[in-house]
Amino acid sequence: MADGPAPAIELRGISKAFGAVQANKDISIRVMPGTIHGIIGENGAGKSTLMSILYGFYRADAGEILIAGRKTDIPDSQAAIRAGIGMVFQHFKLVENFTVLENIVLGAEEGVLLNTSLGKARKLLRQLSDEYELHVDPDALIEDLGVGMQQRVEILKALYRQADILILDEPTGVLTPAEADHLFRILRGLKDQGKTVVLITHKLREIMEITDTVSVMRRGQMTATVRTAETSPEKLAELMVGRKVLLQVDKAPPRPGEVVLKVENLRIHDEQGVERLRGVSFDVRAGEVLGIAGVAGNGQSELLEVLGGMRPAQGGTVQLTGEALDLTGSRSDARTRRARGIAHVPEDRQREGLIMDFHAWENVGFGYHDDPAYNRGVLMDNDALRRDAEAKIARFDVRPADCWQKARNFSGGNQQKIVVAREIERDPVLLLVGQPTRGVDIGAIEFIHQQIVALRDAGRAVLLVSVELDEILSLSDRIAVMFDGRIMGERLPDTTDERELGLLMAGITDTDRPVATAEVEANLARSGGKAR
């Protein structure tokens, strides 16, 4: 690399601390123009912070940034845009009730009046769409578009501002495998046009598939930068975690028993009257894990919420060990569900599973605070709660082992351990688990997976919802795939693969024939699956 062109991006000794937390420490990388560079690391490794510094969202405490060989100061996003950097954030930065066109010109308008800049933008947009296969209706409202489309608007926004460098933060989290393929095609197209792409992800597969070079981050530091062709997933995983990692979960063959949960023809509308579940039927037996795969927003969340007593259903029946559950009336709440033996590890532990400003000991009783063991007459028995919390913290190796810490002061993995301890130690008949390892470090992932498998081995039924196909494949004894509020089919983990599941996730049941991505996209656009 000695005498080639100047790197598109060069970072020298970037450091950034938030309070006592060192998010980035002395990070240096070089990204050559016209390449796709991956940045991989666990949650909390500091990837997003680093890219936010590059986009002027944060200021680095130390270090310098060179763009195309020139030292560049990036105090704000305006400066980043001027330097030719475009960013597609994990959570899209779009104004929902504006049109595509309005979103694209926002901040890059020409002149004081709107009409002239919208007219010009419309023309330019058409050119860009043709050039990069990024077709969107300029007059559609963002809130009416699916996530895949919204992502395209984000990319178009960057291109409209003539970005040479495009940074994408976890862009595939909300996409089906087929949509992700299409995104990668677009990215390759951009690369062929000489653009530089930086892809931030925690998925090894994506790194191997599309990047030219890859940097690995661990605990705020850059541990290695290598050519993708010269490395392997195992090696990258080891660099990410700092030790050898088992990418597979060890588990004995299932011994399914009686049907514990029987769901028939379940229907749900959301507040706008849109049907989110359109007649879902399945059952889960004792001693097995049923995994529900699907792109986020296809009804899985609503399914968990109904079963967990967080929302009413509009039709269908649910039976738990042969007895019907109340789905609409006064006994359809979460409290009654818990009393029936349904435990629930919710999808979003910070919004739902924990009260972030409560101490750990208060959280250990959350949802079970009616339990006589935690009460003495009309008053709560806080001592009993604290004793129980200390025991659970010890058994689940929660760190720091201090029940007086507030939930928000624990890392993602330890927060999740508190939730899992609370729910699993109730020895439930049925465990509902949503995204058990989202934002959890690898060590805790292994531990939580083991706990789920142990519960299943103890003869309990487990319903697992996850958008991570790897997790579904390694934990489930059976897999059901959801698309647009329906179950598209059931498969066994040993006899299926990611391609087949991916097609089911896009609503294509006839998985043997060759399928064009256009069809996948058309289906997804129709389903209107949106990230929540």
Partner 1 sequence: MDKLPRWADVALIPVVNLVLALIVSGIVVTLIGENPFDAMMIMVNGAVGSTYGWGYTLFYATNFVFTGLAVAVAFHARLFNIGGEGQAQLGSLGVALVCLYIPWPHWTLALPGAIVGGALFGAAWAAIPAYLQARRGSHIVITTIMFNFIASALLVYLLITSLKAPGMAPETARFPEATYLPTAQDFFAAIGIPFARTPLNVSFIVALIACWLVWLLMWRMRLGYEIRAFGHSEPAAIYAGISPFRITMVAMLISGALAGLMGINAVMGEQQRLLQDNVLGAGFVGIAVALMGRSHPVGVLLAAILFGALYQGGAELEFETSVPREMVVVIQALVILFTGALDGMVRGPLEKAFLRYRKQPKPGVAAE
Partner 2 sequence: MDFLTVVQILDSTVRLATPLLLACLAGLFSERAGVVDIGLEGKMLIAAFFSAAVAYSTGSVWLGLLAGVAASMVFGVIHGLASITFRGDQLISGVALNFLASGMTVLIAQDWFAQGGRTPALDGAARFSSIDLPGAGALRDVPFIGPIYDDLISGHTILVYVAVLMVPLSWYVLFRTRFGLRLRAVGENPGAVDTAGISVVRLRYSAVLICGFLCGLAGAYLATGLAAGFVKDMTAGRGYIALAALIFAKWRPWYALGACLLFGLLESIGNRYQSLDLLGLQIPSQFMQALPYILTVVILAGFVGKATPPRAGGTPYVKEK
Considering the rule CB under 8 A, would residue 109 count as an interface residue with partner 2?
yes
Residues 41-60 as x/- pattern, contact with partner 2 by CB under 8 A: -------x---x--x-xx--
* Residue 169 C-beta: closest distance to partner 2, Å: 7
Would you say 96 or 383 has its CB closer to partner 2?
96
Q: How many residues bind partner 2 (CB under 8 A)?
A: 36
Cβ atoms of residues 277 and 302 within 8 Å: yes
Query: For residue 35, which phi and psi values (nearest 5 degrees)?
Result: -125, 165
CA gap 112, 93 in Å, rounded: 23
**357 touches, from partner 1, partner 2, none (C-beta below 5 to 8 Å by class):** partner 1
SS (HEC) of 130-192:
HHHCCCCCCCCEHHHCCHHHHHHHHHHHHHHCCCCEEEEECCCCCCCHHHHHHHHHHHHHHHH
Considering the rule CB under 8 A, would residue 14 count as an interface residue with partner 2?
no
Options 12, 17, 28, 98; binder of partner 2; rule CB under 8 A: 98
Options 112, 252, 378, 379; binder of partner 2; rule CB under 8 A: 112
**447 touches, from partner 2, partner 1, none (C-beta below 5 to 8 Å by class):** none
Considering the rule CB under 8 A, would residue 80 count as an interface residue with partner 2?
yes
Cβ atoms of residues 262 and 429 within 8 Å: no
CA gap 332, 317 in Å, rounded: 12
**347 touches, from partner 2, partner 1, none (C-beta below 5 to 8 Å by class):** none
Structure token pair of residue 201: 């992800």
CB atoms within 10 A of CB 115: 8
CA gap 194, 341 in Å, rounded: 58
Alpha helices in 278-411, H assignment, sequence order: 300-307, 334-339, 360-364, 382-395
Considering the rule CB under 8 A, would residue 106 count as an interface residue with partner 2?
yes
* Residue among 2, 1, 24, 3 at smallest CA distance from 13: 24
Options 15, 28, 35, 117; binder of partner 2; rule CB under 8 A: 117
**334 touches, from partner 2, partner 1, none (C-beta below 5 to 8 Å by class):** partner 1
Residues forming beta bridges with residue 214, ordered by sequence position = 38, 226
Burial 138-169 (b: 16+ CB within 10 A, else e): beeebeebbbbbbbbbbbbbbbbbebbbbbbb
Would you say 248 or 409 has its CB closer to partner 1?
409
Options 70, 71, 91, 335; binder of partner 2; rule CB under 8 A: 91
Any idea which residue has 């090894």 for tokens? Answer: 204
CA gap 343, 432 in Å, rounded: 6
* Residue 468 C-beta: closest distance to partner 1, Å: 18
Structure token pair of residue 64: 């310098």
Interactions with partner 2, residue window 257-276 (CB under 8 A):
none
CA gap 528, 532 in Å, rounded: 12
Preceding amide of 428 cis, omega within 30: no
**391 touches, from partner 1, partner 2, none (C-beta below 5 to 8 Å by class):** none
* Residue 401 C-beta: closest distance to partner 2, Å: 30
Would you say 156 or 304 has its CB closer to partner 1?
304
* Residue among 308, 318, 337, 310 at smallest CA distance from 267: 318
Considering the rule CB under 8 A, would residue 169 count as an interface residue with partner 2?
yes
Would you say 206 or 441 has its CB closer to partner 1?
441
Question: Which residues of the shown chain bind partner 1 in the complex (CB under 8 A)?
Answer: 17-23, 25, 43-49, 219-221, 308-311, 333-338, 344, 346, 348, 351-358, 362, 366-367, 369-370, 375, 378-380, 382, 405-406, 409, 411
Stretch that binds partner 2, among 101-109, 222-230, 365-373, 416-424 (CB under 8 A): 101-109
* Residue 333 C-beta: closest distance to partner 1, Å: 5
* Residue 202 C-beta: closest distance to partner 1, Å: 10
* Residue 266 C-beta: closest distance to partner 1, Å: 19
Burial class (CB in 10 A: 0-12, 13-18, 19+), 19: exposed
Structure token pair of residue 207: 């790194």
Would you say 96 or 139 has its CB closer to partner 2?
96
Considering the rule CB under 8 A, would residue 76 count as an interface residue with partner 2?
yes
Options 111, 253, 377, 514; binder of partner 2; rule CB under 8 A: 111
**109 touches, from partner 1, partner 2, none (C-beta below 5 to 8 Å by class):** partner 2
Chain contacts with partner 2 (rule: CB under 8 A): 48, 52, 55, 57-58, 76-81, 87, 89-91, 93-98, 102-103, 105-109, 111-115, 117, 157, 169
